[in-house]
Copies of this chain bind each other. A is one copy, B any other.
Amino acid sequence: MIRIAIFGFGAVGKGVAKILMDRERMNRLIGNYSVVAVADSKGSIVSSSVNLKEALKIKEKNGRLPDGMNVIEIIEEVDFDVALELTPTNIDTGEPGLTHIKKCLKKGANVITSNKGPLVVAYKELSKLAERSGVKLLFEATVGGAMPVIKLIKRDIAGNRIRSIKGILNGTCNYILSRMEKERLSYRMILAEAKELGIVEANESYDVEGIDSAAKLVILANSLMDMDVSLKDVEIEGITEITPEAFEIALEKGYTIRLISEVSEDVLRVSPRLIPLNNPLCVHGTLNAILIKADLAGEIFVIGRGAGSLETASAVISDLAELYSC
């Protein structure tokens, strides 16, 4: 019986809960399991078998879980095999996820996270800690949502040396740029549209200044290319200065503009780049896309949904399968 603790009950946490309620699917994937705790920033439900349907109903109705143990108390007092750390990203401190993950790894629990913050701030420390504790830290959901990246590089093309990874890692920026391309309207107008659609982070600069993309690039560099870099090592330029005129000129020459994140031996950069219109990286809407250059496999190109509740939850579930697949 796999005992699962869920920390964070926002879009991703709720998506994960919905999938975990599908017993037929999940039993086939990982065998028997039980959710023993669900916590958000306000409260929690702890039980030998949390009723997820009930938890989702309470969250829906009250906007929060009932008073109860906080995450730290749960980690200290409740037995579980794996924590799903799905709290919001803080790219400066990594908190509260960083403390949660450290405490879980130290007590010998596996951790699956969708939270970029802890990995951006302390990837090497956390991966060493996991190794010393004989547990795993998995994080497919931190980059590309449902688009396979981490496991694709670590497993599907295992043995390859990765020469470079280049792609579109922020769906919001891609939405804005592909709308600007189509409508030839100003950045400000399209940003307002994106906000109305609810696809811009509360702190919009995370998206449009390229910080979210840079955070993901740091995770890829450190976990897949044996680097040891941090956010300050990334050359970052966002999309706020791009004008309809820039698109006009680009399109005339058969190009468009996309926010491209790139890591190779010589490059660690997030910046708007000219992309040929017939290049597969020229994806539209909120899609993510990635081009991997590997020494044996050659070029591999992937497109997928970079965000969304069930989509990101899907990546979390694939990490659960990685740990417990039967």
A residues with CB within 8 A of B: 19, 25-26, 29, 140, 146-148, 151-152, 155-161, 277-278, 280, 283, 294, 296-305, 308, 310-311, 313-315, 317-318, 320-322, 325
Rounded to whole Å, the gap between the CB of A122 and the closest CB of chain B is 24
Inter-subunit contact A304/B301 (CB<8 Å): yes
Given contacts A26-B159, A140-B156, A322-B158, contact A304 B299 (CB under 8 A): yes
CB neighbours (8 Å) of A155 from chain B are 151, 155-156, 318, 321-322, 325
B146, A152: Cβ atoms under 8 Å?
no
| Main SS at interface, chain A | mixed
Residues of B close to A147: CB separation below 8 A: 300
The 3 A-B residue pairs whose C-beta atoms are closest, nearest first, are: A158-B321, A148-B156, A146-B297
The residues of B that contact A280 with a CB separation of less than 8 Å are 280, 283, 303
Complex Cα distance, B158 from A26, in Å, reads 10
Do residues A296 and B321 form an inter-chain contact, with CB atoms below 8 A?
no
Are B325 and A158 interface neighbours, CB within 8 A? yes
Give the shortest distance, in Å, between A246 (CB) and chain B (any CB).
21
